[in-house]
Structure 1
Amino acid sequence: MSAATLYALAAIALWGTLASLGTSLSHLPPFLLTGLALMIGSVMSWPAVLRNRQAWAVPARTLALGIYGLFGFHFLLFIALRHAPPVEANLVNYLWPLFMVVLAPALLPGLSLRPLHLAAALLGFAGAAIAILGARNAGPAATDAGYWGFLPALGSAFIWASYSLWTKRVAAFPTTAIGLFGLVSGVLALACHALLEPQASLSARDWLLVALCGLGPLGAAFFLWDMALKRGDARQIGILSYITPLASTALLMLVTQRPPSWTIALAALLILSAAVMGSRIRA
């Protein structure tokens, strides 16, 4: 097994815990949680910056893109997990591989949208629709407020897809720069918390979970993923990423004590099948 594959699988394993951690910390204000976790996640790049200040030297455009991706994606995901049944919201969020297929011709020059692209996108949206309809059987969370919560889930998927594509249109940046993206995004989120949200106190358990969130899915996973993409075939590594929604959803079901249902299973199958189909289409 290549080093690139190992890095990718390690990132996927960490991302699989994000929705469960976010749900366990749902009592914290979302800006506070996002800010603390992103700042903690940036810590891993600090030693490199102390050795070489150029480790964070990126153009303003690249920094803005990093803030858009890291801050925007995670904030909307946490909002979705608070206002929609978490399992269904998690599945809708994982439409981002399909969004990448559909948006690629618009955001990247030289690419076209083929019939198979559209077929994969429609299959993915069918899975999302089944996930949303399945929320009717989710209990108290399946209310009008719950359906509203799917909008930020779709928004987070769009942001991550567009961020991933736009990184190919900016100058190449070192992996350590992701720490800068996380630090600035974290400061921005904490500023929003101070201005817009009520103050909150964290218990020892909260701090432990926030630290795990920051060091894992909002920290090490980004560095590992970037290292994988720099060392391997992005198409092959991209296929591996479709393990994430299944692992994440399975773990989230255990945490929320949700029994398996045919709607969840069918939605997961459709979204995964669509993502794999889209990944196999040559540009």
Structure 2
Amino acid sequence: MTGRATLIGFGAVLLWALLALFTVGSAPVPPLQLNAMCFAIGGTLGLLWSARSGGLGALRAVGWRVYVFGIAGLFGYHALYFTALRLAPPAEAGLIAYLWPLLIVLFSGLLPGERLRPGHLVGALAGFSGAALIVGGGAAFDAAALPGYLIAFACALTWAGYSVGSRRLGAVPTDAVAIFCLGSALLSALLHPLFEETVWPDGALGWAAVAGLGLGPVGLAFFLWDFGVKRGDIQLLGVASYAAPLLSTAVLVLSGIAAPSWTLGLAALLITAGAGIAARASFAKAD
């Protein structure tokens, strides 16, 4: 069962590698509206899955604080992510957002009973060097993209803080993710008219991108990941997640959205390697 659950968790990493591609394809839908549309799809999918598996009853046992925390994490991360990719080049902004695996390791080292090791610091230096290369090292750097890069970094901080903070909530059934998604959709729908004008997807391709987001990276991926980390090899899945920046960048380059360059490739390698080095320091302690 462990091997099968781990493979299921790998599916989430593959779906997350498509997040940037589908986000670009969903333009010009504004971020909060996109949040509402995608999470409505993902949450409905989750409820149907829970109803079929008989997991709806478990939702009543989940405390309201858990629901508030989960909704805030999903809403905050994706609102920031969608905004960043609207304001900055998607490959570069996506890589900065993918500093979250490294930040999770660093933040975990600050928990009670934990400490930062030299490997953590080396990994942080590598990862942040990759981000700095994006912001200041490219010949085509555009100062107008700086707000997008800063929002992408806030996005990484948000998901890392959410992931580390969730460790303090105890065991939460996977079915609760559906409520997280639907709550995020409702919150986004309420805030959307206050800050944005409604803009619908552009043609069939745009609608397909929105549907793809809701069904995959902003839907099924959460359930696959939750199932995998609870029943599979969590360390192996953690290592696999560090490949997400490389996979996401490769998808954008292969699709023609991002132009291949040494700067982009080196930044992707530094950010991925930084997370891996930091994680190896944590594994060494565990051994």
Contact 1:235/1:279 (8 A) holds in 2: no
Q: Of the candidates 86, 93, 97, which is equivalent to residue 90 of structure 2?
A: 86
What is the deviation of 1:135? 4.4
Secondary structure at the aligned position of 2:96 is classed as: helix
Q: After the TM superposition, which segments of 4 or more aligned residues of structure 1 sit over 4 Å from their partners?
A: 49-52
RMSD: 1.7
Unaligned runs of 5+ residues in structure 2 are none
Deviations 1:24-72 (Å, cap 9, x if unpaired)? 1121111000111011011222132485542323212211211122111
Cα distance per residue 1:173-192 (max 9 Å; x no partner): 11011010000001111111
Distance 2:130 2:103 in 1: 14
1:181 aligns with 2:180: yes
Question: 2: distance between equivalents of 1:210 and 1:150?
Answer: 23
Q: Distance in 2 between matches of 1:43 and 1:136?
A: 44
Retained in 2: the 8 A contact 1:40–1:219?
yes
- Give 1:96's aligned amino acid: W
CA distance in structure 1 between the aligned counterparts of 2:281 and 2:109, rounded to whole angstroms: 13
Q: Distance in 1 between matches of 2:19 and 2:208?
A: 14
Matching of residue 123 in structure 1 with residue 123 in structure 2: no
Report the equivalent of 1:133: 136
Q: Is the 8 A contact 1:81 1:149 kept in 2?
A: yes
Please give the secondary structure, in 2, of the residue aligned with 1:149.
helix
Q: Which residue of 2 aligns with 1:234?
A: 234
**Aligned ranges for residues 84-233 of structure 1 at < 5 Å?**
84-106=88-110, 108-137=111-140, 142-202=141-201, 203-233=203-233
User: Is residue 134–residue 263 contact of structure 2 (8 Å, CA) maintained in 1?
Assistant: yes
- Counterpart Cα distance in 2 of 1:21 and 1:52: 30
Residue 74 (structure 1) aligned to one of 78, 86, 98: 78
Q: Tell me if structure 2 keeps the 8 A contact 1:101–1:121.
A: no
Residue 201 to residue 26, structure 1, CA distance change in 2 (3 Å):
closer
Q: Secondary structure at the match of 2:109?
A: helix
Q: Distance in 1 between matches of 2:244 and 2:47?
A: 28
CA 1:135–1:41 in structure 2 vs 1: closer, same or farther (change >3 Å)?
farther
Displacement of 1:7 in angstroms is 1.1
Give the drift of 1:134: 4.2
- Give the structure 2 partner of residue 264 of structure 1: 264
Q: In structure 2, the residue corresponding to 1:2 is in which secondary structure? A: helix
- Sequence identity of aligned pairs in percent? 42
C-alpha deviation, 1:5, in angstroms: 2.4
TM-score, normalising length: structure 2: 0.91
Query: For 2:200 and 2:272, how far apart are their aligned partners in 1?
Result: 39
Listed one character per residue, the Cα deviations across residues 167-224 of structure 1 (whole Å, up to 9, x for unaligned) are 1100311101101000000111111112221122344433322111101000100000
Distance 1:115 1:132 in 2: 26
> How many Å apart are 1:271 and its aligned residue?
1.0
Give the distance between the partners of 2:36 and 2:256, measured in 1 at CA: 24
**In 1, Cα distance between the equivalents of 2:55 and 2:104?**
34
Shift of 1:256: 4.2
